[in-house]
Structure 1
Amino acid sequence: MNDQSILLSLDGGVARVTLNRPDRLNSFNTAMHAALVDALDRIEAEGGTRVMLLTGAGRGFCAGQDLADRAVAADGRAPDLGDSVERFYNPLIRRLAALPFPVICAVNGVAAGAGANIALACDIVIAAESARFIQSFAKIGLVPDSGGTWILPRLVGQARALGLALTGEPLGAAQAAEWGLIWKAVPDDALAAEADALVAQFATAPTAGLAATKALIRGSWANDLDTELDLQRDTMRRLGQSDDYREGVAAFLAKRAPVFTGR
């Protein structure tokens, strides 16, 4: 990858993706969007990934869109923000939701605007206690994009979602965890170890089962109970034929640690 705004490492079934524009609080410009697409393409093309960790370099996770990259032109012509959302942010959110393995986000500092909602689009979000989540769109006359208006009320309810979105007030990590916006908040100096522990857990877990759980829970918003029960039945039938299920049962009966292959 020539553009160093995204750092990628692949090792032992673990993909580590780091947003790397620390001088701009890892805010997105067009080149960074392209670099992230390249990283995700490589992860999917190489195969074998069982967990992905997303984090930011420096003192922040992501400040969202770099406004200097899409400012009003000198002649007064406004940028097409809908085009930017359709080309970059919408595909990213859809892709994170569809990846067939757990996606962990370690929020190491401020997560603002699209940066907050990209974090919340991941499957498990852990944050340093000093981190803050800010729906900063209200401050510039916009709406929460990158899935914000969809995910916020589903995570914290309409009253809190409206409060966050309309005021743009920062929400600290501890309160975000208390409200159910994220999985947990941890001391700043424990964030890396906490993320690594989750990565290690998922790198040796039954990946197909985790991917199916992710898909069912994410898809359940559109289903009634009968539909979800049928999907559970069909998924259990499929997973019951997997190597990981056979290994899990064999290990349980033998009272030994399982060795899952992700198949």
Structure 2
Amino acid sequence: MTLPKTIGHEKQKRYFEQARDAGRLAHAYAFVGEPGIGKTSFALELAREIFGAEPTLDTFLLGESEPMRVEDARNLQNLLALTPAGKSKVAILNADTLDAEAASALLKTLEEPPARSVLILVVSNFYKVLPTIASRVQKIVFGRVSDEQISAILDQYDLDTSRKQEILSLADGRIGLAKRLTTDETFFVSMKSFAEYFETLKSLERFKRLQTSARLAELETDQLHDFVRFGMRKFAIEPFARPQLGQKLVDAWRDLGANVNVRLALDNLFL
């Protein structure tokens, strides 16, 4: 079986199997989908199983721990030009961290790809990718997987039934997120709190909402951005009794980005 470690994404697996068998593999792809659904994990196994890259010597993962610098983008051409230990050199880039300068530097690699090299961009919003880059990659869209598939992965961990159900609920079909919730206790606690805060935000009880606003005001700005992002995603997929909440979330995102007083931004959101 191709990509035996990857759970779900069967359509994408078949696409690459057929492209390999027909000799139609490209040199550049964009893996598109919301964060936490397993795009990077898929790319890593794809590099080994389909493109024949040696995991340590031929595979480069860039932009994960910190934004990709323009120097990294310029050096990528030289890295990919090295003779591979396996069949190919594969670079996997978190394109969400690319600024305009680094993206422009990346164009040379896309325009003049070294022989036996593959470039995979991992991105949550394809429309933020520079058009000159977007036109030079094949777009592969990834979606969520079923709770049953995630549950099979969680069975490998020592989880009680209650914790497993909480993780399934918070992950909501995003297998990468489920794995992080399982292995990172701090992240699990944070996401669980976000879910509880959001239930209050949906509530029609104004006093309860303002109490939660005061608690959130104690968080760091990055955490507040994470909460508002969490809220926008939830609002997009669930109907609520407060239809104006969507606009309030957008306003909160804008206000936090503009360094508006945090307490004022949160009170406007929770009122």
Q: TM-score range by the shorter chain?
A: under 0.3
**TM-score by structure 2 length?**
0.26
**TM-score by structure 1 length?**
0.27
Q: Which has the larger radius of gyration?
A: 2
